[in-house]
Amino acid sequence: MKSNSIFSYIKKTSKSSSLVNYTRQDLNQKWLNRIQTKATDSLGQEGYSKLSSLVDFYSKKTENQSVNIDWDFWKSNIRTQNLVDNIMKKTDSLSEKKYNVDTIALKSAANSEKFENYGLFLKYNYTLWNNHLVRSLNAVYSLVSISDISLISQKEFNSFFPGLLSKPAAWRETGYASISKFYF
């Protein structure tokens, strides 16, 4: 069975026709379970318990919580006129609205096309420069193993620098002829 068709399989085989909604909660729990299995000593267990309590605190439901603000206290301590009254009105108007948290969370989990393209650009540049670094390090390590470079023939010397002849070969293929000598 393909991994892409898991959702269609769940749709067809579940007793209720609703699809299991995989949210960040499930991912957080999987992540915490993985950390718990890897925490073998007491320090790791302590770190896991702290992390678990933080995740539980920040992922608790906000619908059942009531905000008890002592507005009289703030009115007596803030000198700006009507500031507390304006904040109280805004708080009341915001508390009356209901937000669909699941759809907002799903929107935040989905990446835009611009974000994906930027990630692809970063991955390409990382691969390009990592390849350049590896080739340079290979050239340096090859030179370290050579005792006297003047005793090496030109053909063997070129084998220590794999990209050395590619630039003149590209110039020949494109018809680029320059009188000035380029240093590599």
Task: Kindly state whether residues 121 and 106 are assigned to the same domain.
Answer: no
Residue 169 has pLDDT above 80, yes or no: no
Domain annotation covers residue 3: yes
Question: Of all helices (H) and strands (E), which one includes residue 84?
Answer: helix 83-96
Say whether both 169 and 121 belong to one domain: yes
**Of 172, 146, 178, 171, the residue nearest 159 (C-alpha):** 146
Same domain? For 71 and 56 the reply is no
Q: For residue 156, is it within any domain?
A: yes
Reported as a single tens digit per residue, the pLDDT across 50-105 is: 998 888 887 776 665 566 888 899 999 988 889 999 999 998 888 888 877 777 77
Residues 5 and 52 in one domain: yes
Say if residue 168 is in the same domain as residue 120: yes
106 and 136 in one domain? no
Clarify whether residues 102 and 129 are in a common domain: no
Residue 155 belongs to some domain of the structure: yes
The pLDDT of residue 18? 40
Domain ranges, residue 87: 67-110
Q: How confident is the model at residue 108 (pLDDT cuts 50, 70, 90)?
A: confident
Domain-embedded: residue 73: yes
pLDDT at 2: 47
Q: Is residue 110 pLDDT above 50, yes or no?
A: yes
Let me know if residue 179 belongs to a domain.
no
Give the chain's mean pLDDT: 76
pTM of the model: 0.30
Higher pLDDT, 2 or 147: 147
The answer to whether residues 4 and 47 belong to one domain is yes
By mean pLDDT, which of 30-34, 70-74, 111-115, 178-182 is the weakest?
178-182
- Indicate whether 182 belongs to any domain: no
94 and 145 in a single domain? The answer is no
- Shared domain for 56 and 98, answered yes or no, is no
Structural domains counted in the chain? 3
| DSSP conformation class of 111 | P
Up-side HSE of residue 27: CA atoms within 13 Å toward CB?
7
Q: Same structural domain for residues 3 and 55?
A: yes
pLDDT band, residue 144 (cuts 50/70/90)? confident
Residue entry with tokens 């470079």: 149
159 domain residue, yes or no: yes
Does some domain include residue 181? no
Residue 128 CA to residue 138 CA, distance in Å, equals 16
Residue 59 amino acid letter:
S
